Structure 1
Amino acid sequence: MYIDAGTALTGIYDLRPDARTVLKQNPGQVEPLSTVAYAGKTNPKILIIGSGGGDEVLAGLQAGASSITAIEINPIISDIVAKRMNDFWGNLYHQPEVRLVTDEGRSFVRRSTEKYDAIISVNTISNAAMASGALSLSENYVLTREAFRDYLDHLTPEGVIFFSRPEFQIPRLVSTAREVFAEQGLGSINDHVLAFSNFKRRNPTPSRFRFLAGLLLKKSTFRPEELAQIRGILNAGAGPEEDSARVKILFAPDQSQPDSLCARIAGAAQLEDVFRASDSQLAPATDDKPFFNQHTRWSRIRWSTIVDLFSQSQPSGARLALEDRPIAEVTLLILLGQSAIVAGLCILLPLALLERRGLRIEGRWAWISYFAALGLGFIMVEIALLQRFLLFLGQPIYTYAVVLAGLLIFTGIGSYTAGRWAAPELPGTLKRVLVGAIILVPVVAVITPVVFHAALGFGIFWRIVISLLLVAPLGFVLGMPFPLGLRLAMRRSSALGSWAWGVNGFFTVIGTVLALMLGMMIGFRMVLLLASACYVGGLLALAWLSHGRPEGGMLAVSHSPAAD
């Protein structure tokens, strides 16, 4: 099955007439990688995040699993493997031990009350998807620090977490594991972690990281016999001596690797010192900054980084460069510049040429600052809320349908309500509305994580209801400042009205990219606080317009439109 025009794929070989029959006749065809998580376990209870075509499900059956819960976020894949092509899949997902659930993995784990012997996520990322840069811009709540805390809470005492990722991301998984162990008072991770890279064919560019690698994190310490069994699985079918390097141990309790970045992270006295010394983003992703696939720290991106990205000397190197280079970060920087240029040419330039009257009005820069602040502040709130509600609602389609639609609907209701207020009350009312927005945005930033943690176990209907209740008051209040300000500006001059629409639109366009960049840098809670600061800026602009003018000055409302 090809996903997103071939950027990723999943599937399985023909399991007809029945998956169990195929297992008996061809046991060697099972992909062995995921079985490293079952070392030393008999009849394990398994949770698979991103089951896809079912390789890990089949391997779990071969390992004698007593229970397999397969989580797949894509309903189309679930429908194909369990219904439309169930015959080809040999009834795999209808075996008595197997349960297929269509859901977001982290959301399911948070709601689950069960304990598992192994929680695994294998090959849920492709090098083509990494190369596109899109994954670096995508939130990933499955690999955050809070997610690892949830996984540990859902493991049996001898349980294991196993994730496979590209090799350059393994150190970030190790740092995540270390911080979670420290938070929960579990001590050092040295005897709890095994990290490796494993590639079945000779690496075409030896200087580059290998794509397939993995991290095993055990709740209790690894026993020597378990480590030996894991190495046996990884080295199975290694072939001739010159190919024996296909498995590289990055970190293991019984194998010292002093030059390994994973070892430095596990043993460093001050973890922050290791983070600062590297160009790579090694600090754990969090629910507030869920961009696990971000490659490079923003502070380490230079002009030479951009030049190097687009000037690879080897044809294969140019393609491989995209897998572990900051392609998404550079793309965002370029997109921000393009957005500013295009929006400036299409919005601000025509206004400057055709509505110069707006630039000759007293207080013009305060008016422009006011509408700029509204455009930037509102889009920051919108982007931050979409990111935050994704974990709570589980499915991206629900997030956009509920949060975006709800926010726009209640914003419209707020705008309609503002339009019914009497003109003499507008200046005072507008200031009170802005104060309400300044207070409400930080309140939402603080209470949403608390509400999400308490209500994530509810069914989807109640989570949608709670989401709308959180979005409704904020949308209602944020819908008022623009129409109220527009009415005041239009009474000064119709040209000011044109500039209000134009400036607001310009900052909304560039704010979309800027909000995402800031979310990656400082987290979406800070983005919401910056949005509140934008509304503070709007309030200050209004205060300047009425400063020292007892009758309202440039905010005064006349009973007839101003002459142009």
Structure 2
Amino acid sequence: MTVAVDLDHRPPFAFYLSVGLVAGSIIALQIGIMRVFSVGSWAHFGSLVVSLAMFGFGLTSAVMCVGKGWFERHWIGAIKGALLLFGPLMVVCNLAAQQVPFNAIFLISDPMQKWRLFANFVLYFLPFLAGALYLGVVFLKAQKTFNRVYFADLVGSGLCGLSALLAMYYWRPDDLIMAPLLLWLAGGVLWFVAMGDRRGIAAIVAVAILSAAVHYVAPQVLGIPKLAVSDYKGVSYVRKFPDNKRTYERTSPFGYLEVYSSSYLHFAPGLSDNAAFNLPKMPSNAYLGLYIDSDGPSGIIKDLPADETAYFKYLPMYYPYLLKKDPTTFVVQFGGGISTAVALKSGSQKVTVAEGNPAVLTAFREDKGLRDFTGDILNNPKINVIDYDGRLYVAHTKNRYDVVDLSLADSAGLSSPGGFSIVEKYSYTREAMSAYMRALKPDGILSVTLWNKEEPPKSVLKLYATMAAAARDVAGGQGGDNDIANKFYVVSAYLSTTTVLYKRDGFTPDEIAKLNAHSKAMSFDTVYYPGIKVDTAELPQILADYRNQFFYVGQPADPTAPSESEPNDKPPPGAPGASETPSSGETQADGTPPAPKIPATVLGRLAWHYLVHGGWQKVADEYVFDTRVLTNHQPYFAAYIKVPDLLKFTDRLELVQDEWGYLLLWATLGIATVFALTLVLFPVIFGWRTIFSRYPGKFGTMIYFLCLGLGYIIVEVGMISHFILALSNATVSASVLITGMLVFSGIGSFVSERYLDRARSVMPKVFLAIFLILAVYAFTIDYALDWIGTLPYALRILLCLLIILPPAFLMGFPMPTAMTTLGRLGKDHMFLWAWGINGCFSVIGAALVPIVATSFGLPAVVLVGAFAYLIALPAFFSVLMPLRPQALGAGRPAAA
């Protein structure tokens, strides 16, 4: 039998625990969905689904605002129904969503993809709707003690989010749904205990058992997957090989690691085509494939015998060892170990290798199969392992190296289904490149190899610009000559890889000749070397051809297609305008016919010409895609479409399918804005005459909660990207940041109750303090996080939590102070409306973060959050306006 409980006056402790656990299960469900999509398709689609699904809070508040009287009368039944539905909806909707996989790159060519997207949205919307209904009714019935209830909500969400992180060690991604399910069960049981409802306890336990049974049994019975992995994820290819075998598997917050063996695996990034013709014996079954969250493979090469090590000379990572004998080598990222194996087999006397993913190091150190296959490479006496990011190590070490190698670490290629992901690539930023260059001995060489699979070229042009800028930083910072013309050597294999060599003291003519001879022997394209001659007259035509490929009215030009003439062909000798000096590309020293011109390669040569001699910015402005330098503030290879060109692509999206990862962010922002405005205005439209016309300060109240929703989520999501600097992993960074923000904000919420009577004088000081702290963090936090990233992992997490404590604690004040004030003033309808505004604009803020970050940088993200709190300061006084006397005659009085 249910007992009467007054939630506004001393509710039982079990009530607060229930709120915390159910709210925590909602956060855990979000994290679980993100993990599912990281493994099954791509994380940004998971973000999109979660963001849109969070509109469940907005819809709940809109409906409750209009139908407040009904919910006040039937609040116990509404909560019971929401609780009993929440758990089963988690399981059933997740299973159903896995049967309708969505791939963004086919959104134009396959009309069904739109319906698949809509189905995913609806399916994931339903469980959040149930969870939001539970919290909404609880908040409605506990308005006067909102501070304490909100404290339980935030702290429970934060701690349960951390528990979801720990659950990743136990459950594989396809079973991670059990974490939020158990949290929901515990929260539901405690609710019925607080209500004294024994039947409710029995019912929710039975429903939980049935839900778990559906998750584990239904897929086997029906023959459906619990987690559908896209056919375009790397692991899907290897699973289709007839002799594939998974030799290693481990799940953790650092990723779902799998290692496969197959005779069909030939992972040799950038391997010269000449290897098959010139090597007396090609290594057989030389590779295992390492997959993290289904992405890959990262090649794991076996310990080759001495008679097969000539194979390494055909890899682009071998270039620095042509010039350096018995070097000391630093490998920036271990990955699958190819670069480390090349360094060892090429005569390095000492190899220092860094790896920021603890799960990778554990696999290579502890798994017998991997140790036997690689010759126990990490325990080789020549190897020194650094267990954090290489870019952080070289920035703080006094050691200097003959060779620094960065090969395909977090590289950007045509990979994730749905296009390029908006993922931070800190290993390739201007600051990182400067650190690598400074870590070289006076005649040392930095070798950077990147995937070069894009046509038109995108990521490689960003790499070129970044390395050139870093080289000038290093030269200028050391008081040396700022001329970088003789410090680079660049080669590429078309639609394969590009390798950039940087020599601190510059390449000598003999070294250039040696490198050129090797490039010719490997059939690699030389993109740049000191003294190369480039015909700049080709640039306007190439830029125009690439732009016309996308924006030409009529039949678009394709610079990669065969044509009767090359771009900007020279006139015949003797004709007007004929050049007396032949182009370097038209005559070869040995008299052999010239190699065919590839526009991407020619553009690369032109890019280096202008990067070295000046004028690159003008070229970048005219190029069809964004080629800005990567920095710690904008560490993105992705987001290549320039913002002014977005509208031009709306009727030709099929031409940029690999950009859908970025374009969907804009689509999400547009959809979120429309939904938010609709849900925010819905209660006003339907309750204007009876309710809102008599509520003073409506507009100011809307601005206030709009700013809180935007500001909090923008700071939270923006800081996740910053914290990757120290924690080296997006999942861990998100979990630690969310936990810290919610727990410390919850404590702030609890403390804020003491200042309710002085809110008019205290809150302006709180807003100003939040603004000042965030403004300082925007431009200084990176320096602290870089240092923190070199410490033991547990200490890194602790210090990151301490950094977020001051702003998060203060950010816990504004929401509960205003909500409690609305409740005490009797503004019940506005209380519900405000909660919905906050939720809706939180979704807009989440969608806005990656767009602001890619366009203006991560400091701009934090500054936007800071200004949102500053704007909320004057709007706060609208919240304090009391009801007009006649409002009490409109419907039921909100407060006694």
Same fold (TM over 0.5): yes
**C-alpha distance in 2 between matches for 1:120 and 1:32:** 13
Which residue pairs with 1:63 in the alignment?
346
The one-letter amino acid of 2:608's match is A
SS at match of 1:11: strand
Say which of 619, 641, 650 aligns to 1:296.
641
Kindly indicate whether the alpha-carbon contact (under 8 Å) linking 1:366 and 1:541 is maintained by their aligned counterparts in 2. yes
Give runs of aligned pairs for residues 152-167 of structure 1, distance below 5 A: 152-167=437-452
Say which of 396, 404, 415 aligns to 1:129.
415
Kindly indicate whether the alpha-carbon contact (under 8 Å) linking 2:744 and 2:809 is maintained by their aligned counterparts in 1. yes
Which residue pairs with 2:630 in the alignment?
285
Cα deviation, 1:368-417, whole Å, max 9, x if unaligned, reads 11100111011111122111121123343442343221111100000111
Task: Give identity over the alignment, percent.
Answer: 22
Cα deviation, 1:192-251, whole Å, max 9, x if unaligned, reads 11222214xxxxxxxxxx24212111111112222233234334354xxxxxxxx22222
Aligned-pair CA distance for 1:462: 4.0
Say which of 519, 530, 534 aligns to 1:234.
519
Kindly indicate whether the alpha-carbon contact (under 8 Å) linking 1:197 and 1:214 is maintained by their aligned counterparts in 2. yes
Which residue pairs with 2:664 in the alignment?
331
Give runs of aligned pairs for residues 389-468 of structure 1, distance below 5 A: 389-422=723-756, 424-453=757-786, 455-468=788-801
Kindly indicate whether the alpha-carbon contact (under 8 Å) linking 1:434 and 1:539 is maintained by their aligned counterparts in 2. yes
Kindly indicate whether the alpha-carbon contact (under 8 Å) linking 1:374 and 1:504 is maintained by their aligned counterparts in 2. yes
Kindly indicate whether the alpha-carbon contact (under 8 Å) linking 2:328 and 2:403 is maintained by their aligned counterparts in 1. yes
Say which of 466, 470, 491 aligns to 1:176.
466
| Structure 1 position 189 matched with structure 2 position 484 | yes
| Structure 1 position 481 matched with structure 2 position 806 | no
**C-alpha distance in 1 between matches for 2:531 and 2:764:** 66
| Structure 1 position 80 matched with structure 2 position 368 | no
**C-alpha distance in 1 between matches for 2:774 and 2:803:** 11
**C-alpha distance in 2 between matches for 1:62 and 1:68:** 11
Kindly indicate whether the alpha-carbon contact (under 8 Å) linking 2:492 and 2:527 is maintained by their aligned counterparts in 1. yes
Aligned-pair CA distance for 1:474: 0.7
Mark the runs of 5 or more structure 1 residues left unpaired by the alignment: 200-209, 239-246, 313-320, 547-551
**C-alpha distance in 2 between matches for 1:252 and 1:230:** 9
| Structure 1 position 532 matched with structure 2 position 866 | yes
**C-alpha distance in 1 between matches for 2:743 and 2:470:** 40
SS at match of 1:52: coil
CA 139–2 in structure 1, closer or farther in 2 if over 3 Å, else same = same
Cα deviation, 1:43-77, whole Å, max 9, x if unaligned, reads 11112233222222221122100112222333343
Which residue pairs with 1:549 in the alignment?
none
Which residue pairs with 2:621 in the alignment?
276
Aligned-pair CA distance for 1:454: 5.2
SS at match of 2:373: coil
Between stretches 88-97 and 58-67, larger displacement belongs to: 88-97
SS at match of 2:405: strand
CA 121–293 in structure 1, closer or farther in 2 if over 3 Å, else same = farther
The one-letter amino acid of 2:668's match is L
Which residue pairs with 1:244 in the alignment?
none
Which residue pairs with 1:37 in the alignment?
320
CA 166–296 in structure 1, closer or farther in 2 if over 3 Å, else same = farther
Normalising to structure 2: TM-score of the pair?
A: 0.54
**C-alpha distance in 2 between matches for 1:342 and 1:89:** 54
Aligned-pair CA distance for 1:134: 4.5
Normalising to structure 1: TM-score of the pair?
A: 0.84
**C-alpha distance in 2 between matches for 1:295 and 1:164:** 20
**C-alpha distance in 1 between matches for 2:842 and 2:691:** 20
SS at match of 2:443: strand
| Structure 1 position 386 matched with structure 2 position 730 | no
CA 327–45 in structure 1, closer or farther in 2 if over 3 Å, else same = farther
CA 122–516 in structure 1, closer or farther in 2 if over 3 Å, else same = same
CA 537–12 in structure 1, closer or farther in 2 if over 3 Å, else same = closer
Which residue pairs with 1:225 in the alignment?
510
Which residue pairs with 1:256 in the alignment?
533
Which residue pairs with 1:205 in the alignment?
none
**C-alpha distance in 1 between matches for 2:833 and 2:321:** 64
The one-letter amino acid of 2:491's match is F
Which residue pairs with 1:150 in the alignment?
435
The one-letter amino acid of 1:43's match is D
CA 268–190 in structure 1, closer or farther in 2 if over 3 Å, else same = closer
Supply the RMSD in Å over aligned alpha carbons: 2.9
Which residue pairs with 2:848 in the alignment?
514
CA 93–228 in structure 1, closer or farther in 2 if over 3 Å, else same = farther
SS at match of 1:421: helix
**C-alpha distance in 2 between matches for 1:263 and 1:237:** 22
Which residue pairs with 1:309 in the alignment?
653
Which residue pairs with 1:26 in the alignment?
308
| Structure 1 position 470 matched with structure 2 position 470 | no
Aligned-pair CA distance for 1:5: 6.0
Cα deviation, 1:331-386, whole Å, max 9, x if unaligned, reads 211222233345566x4476457665553222211101110011101111112211
**C-alpha distance in 1 between matches for 2:311 and 2:363:** 22
The one-letter amino acid of 1:400's match is A
Aligned-pair CA distance for 1:287: 0.8
SS at match of 1:212: strand
**C-alpha distance in 2 between matches for 1:453 and 1:127:** 27
Which residue pairs with 1:317 in the alignment?
none
Which residue pairs with 2:493 in the alignment?
198
Which protein is bigger by CA-based radius of gyration?
A: 2
SS at match of 1:161: strand
**C-alpha distance in 2 between matches for 1:3 and 1:342:** 38
Which residue pairs with 1:377 in the alignment?
711
**C-alpha distance in 2 between matches for 1:554 and 1:37:** 76
Aligned-pair CA distance for 1:119: 1.5
